[in-house]
């Protein structure tokens, strides 16, 4: 059974939610060699995260930031504050969204719905590039 794995450095983004589907797929063209399988994308950080959501209207990504700031406010009485007020909420948001996404592969393509894309959720005010490990495995076509 074939396995493919690579590490991708996602370009640095401002705080918010960003579509990275194309960056990830470009790194693992071997998906097309699989008749059935899984794609697993894992972020090696704890203040940024990955999720799958609507990829058509950029306003959705703006509203994600609004909603997650409401759910995990910076104003709570945190103890871990030496890295700034955005740091501790970033950790919590990262766990709410998750450190990985996994997507079925069918006939050499991701079996995503029409409107689904992969988001990089950048929870820090200032962050550098983010490293993700991309793994695909399955049955050869």
SS3 labels along the chain: CCEEEEEEEECCCCCEEEECHHHHHHHCHHHHHEEEEEEEEEECCCCEEEEEEECCCHHHHHHHHHHHHHHCCCCCCCCCCCCCCCHHHHHHHHHHHCCEEEEEEECCEECCCCCEEEEEEECCCCCCCEEEEEEEEEEEC
Q: 33 or 99: whose CB is closer to a copy of itself?
A: 99
Per CB under 8 A, 8 contacts a copy of itself: no
Draw the binding track, 60-79, toward a copy of itself (x: CB under 8 A; -: no contact): x-xxx-xxx-xxxx--xxxx
Which residues are near a copy of itself by CB under 8 A?
1, 3, 5, 7, 36-38, 40, 42-47, 51-54, 57, 59-60, 62-64, 66-68, 70-73, 76-80, 88-89, 91-92, 94-104, 106, 111-116, 119, 131, 133, 135, 137-139
């Amino acid at each position: 059974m074939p396995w493919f794995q690579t590490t991708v450095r996602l370009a640095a983004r401002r705080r918010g939610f960003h579509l990275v589907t194309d960056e990830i797929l470009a790194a693992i063209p071997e998906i097309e060699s699989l008749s059935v399988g899984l794609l697993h994308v894992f972020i090696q950080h704890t203040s940024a995260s990955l999720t799958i959501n609507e990829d058509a209207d950029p306003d959705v990504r703006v509203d994600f930031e609004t909603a997650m700031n409401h759910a995990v406010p910076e104003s709570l009485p945190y103890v871990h504050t030496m890295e700034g007020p955005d740091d501790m909420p970033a950790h919590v948001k990262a766990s709410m969204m998750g450190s990985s996404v996994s997507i079925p592969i069918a006939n050499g393509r991701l079996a995503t719905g029409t409107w689904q894309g992969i988001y990089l959720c950048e929870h820090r005010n200032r962050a550098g590039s983010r490293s993700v490990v991309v793994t695909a495995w399955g049955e050869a076509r």
